Amino acid sequence: MLDIKFIRENKDIVQAGAKKKHVDVDIEKLIAVDDARLQTLKAVEDLRAEVNKVSLNISRDLDSSAKMQLIEEMRVVKEDIKSHEDKLKNIMEEWQGLMLQVPNVPDMTVPEGASDADNQEIKVWGEKTVFDFEPKDHVEIMTALKMVDFERGTKAHGFRGYYLTGAGVELSFALWNYAMEFFTKKNFNLIMPPAVIKKTDFFGTGHLPAGVDDIYWTQDGDGLIATAEIPLMAFHSGEILKEEDLPKKYLGFSPCFRREAGAHSKDVKGLIRVNEFFKFEQLILCEASHETSVKLHEELNKNFEEFIESLVLPYRTITACGGDLGRGHVKMYDVEAWVPKEGKYRELGSASYFHDFQSRRCGIRYKDKEGKIKYTHSLNATAVATPRILVSIIENYQQSDGSIKIPEVLRKYMGGKEFIK
């Protein structure tokens, strides 16, 4: 959420930012509603001040008739206050709804574009894997090696269902253990957050109101998280931190749940797009400085790139265009690994920063060295998501005999084995 003062003072910039993100929002209407909010709020405050003033007069030594007259006058004023408060409540509901629709202003370096087709490639690492045999896809390889059971997964869950089995489970645990070791060396603090959280926390990160159809909801109105980013932001919600304790760096591990509503046109067979998965997520809270946010954003993305490089997976990094950014994003990088059988890059994760958009919604503040209270900036990035990364590992490391060569950095977590056969 943006500061209403910022919106009023920079309405052209905010409107241009919304246009760049291809978000339809009426800033002039918001300002008109805000004017009504301020006017009604002032009217209520003035009437309350009048009641307080008259109450002092009533307490003085006045004759009974004078007191009765003042009491009657105050009865009318209190009715007026109630009327204005009811009006203010309705205005506030409209105001809050409009405020939640206003997107963050994207960075000047974000390219123009309407969708992910317009994202810009900024880095390519590694040579695309070349085989002297006809490569297979991960579904065929993993099924043959009894690493996954899609048939029974579909029976249990539906189209996106799967059971990881045998070496599929071992490889996942190897990735998790390696990721935990890799990222904690970079001074991240481990957290295993709740996977079922309050609806307000989804508003806090900006996953609501727009993403309501992508969330699994419980009968109690709570939601299943799509990423550890959501409960990690809730961890410090409503708190005032100390500047000397910033940045706060967390590595969250959690199950994740996504309904993938509206993704039917993107459906592919296998582990690319599933409803349930596990993910390590990097998250940082830092001081309210654009320069610091930019620096840490590059650091988060570099962490992820280095992790993929250590697995020796060919990948590319792209900058998301305006139309591919979420409402809260200032800028986002996507890292995509090469998938040989498809002959294309597939997203493995992303790195984003938000300025104070999320912290303002979550109420996460800090006291600076001068004693001023400010909202923190927030950033997050993928560390590793399974089972999607298995797709690239399996397909890039497949052998002509149908086995899989295990990436060297993972072997110690798999009993020293070199191959999955």
Residue 34 has pLDDT above 90, yes or no: yes
pLDDT of residue 18: 97
The closest of 96, 93, 99 to 27, measured between CA atoms, is: 99
What is the torsion angle, in degrees rounded to the nearest 10, for the CA atoms of residue 128, residue 132, residue 134 and residue 139? -60
Query: For this structure, is 37 an active site residue?
Result: no
Catalytic residue among 172, 293, 350, 392: 350
What average pLDDT is seen over the chain?
94
Say which DSSP state 355 is in: T
On the 0-12 / 13-18 / 19+ scale of CB atoms within 10 A, 320 is: buried
Domain ranges of the chain: 4-101, 116-420
> Rounded to whole angstroms, how far apart are CA atoms 403 and 142?
9
Say which DSSP state 267 is in: -
Band (pLDDT 50/70/90 cuts) for residue 48 is confident
Per DSSP bridges, beta strands 240-242 and 373-375 are unpaired
Residue 149 — φ and ψ, nearest 5°? -130, 100
Residue 54 has pLDDT above 90, yes or no: no
Residue 358 has pLDDT above 80, yes or no: yes
pLDDT of residue 79: 87
pLDDT of residue 60: 64
> Rounded to whole angstroms, how far apart are CA atoms 319 and 197?
31
> Rounded to whole angstroms, how far apart are CA atoms 252 and 407?
24
Band (pLDDT 50/70/90 cuts) for residue 157 is very high
Catalytic residue among 258, 346, 361, 365: 258
pLDDT of residue 301: 98
Catalytic residue among 293, 378, 388, 392: 388
Say which DSSP state 264 is in: G
Residues ≥6 apart with Cβ < 8 Å to 306: none
pLDDT of residue 268: 73
- For residue range 257-311, list pLDDT tens digits in order: 999 866 554 567 899 999 999 999 999 999 999 999 999 999 999 999 999 999 9
pLDDT of residue 95: 97
- For residue range 178-201, list pLDDT tens digits in order: 999 999 999 999 999 999 999 999
- pLDDT above 90 covers a percentage of the chain that reads 88
Band (pLDDT 50/70/90 cuts) for residue 50 is confident
**Residue of 70 and 156 predicted with greater confidence:** 156
Angle at which helices 64-101 and 27-58 pack, to 10 degrees?
A: 160
- pLDDT above 70 covers a percentage of the chain that reads 95
Query: For this structure, is 289 an active site residue?
Result: no
CATH for 116-420, among 3.40.50.920, 3.30.450.20, 3.30.930.10, 3.40.50.720? 3.30.930.10
How many CB atoms lie under 10 A from the CB of residue 344?
A: 9
pLDDT of residue 263: 59
Say if CB 356 and CB 159 are below 8 A apart. no
Catalytic residue among 305, 347, 403, 411: 347
Query: For this structure, is 258 an active site residue?
Result: yes
Query: For this structure, is 160 an active site residue?
Result: no
> Rounded to whole angstroms, how far apart are CA atoms 248 and 7?
28
Largest CA distance in the chain: 107
Query: For this structure, is 403 an active site residue?
Result: no
- Quick one: CATH architecture of 4-101? Orthogonal Bundle (1.10)
Residue 61 has pLDDT above 60, yes or no: no
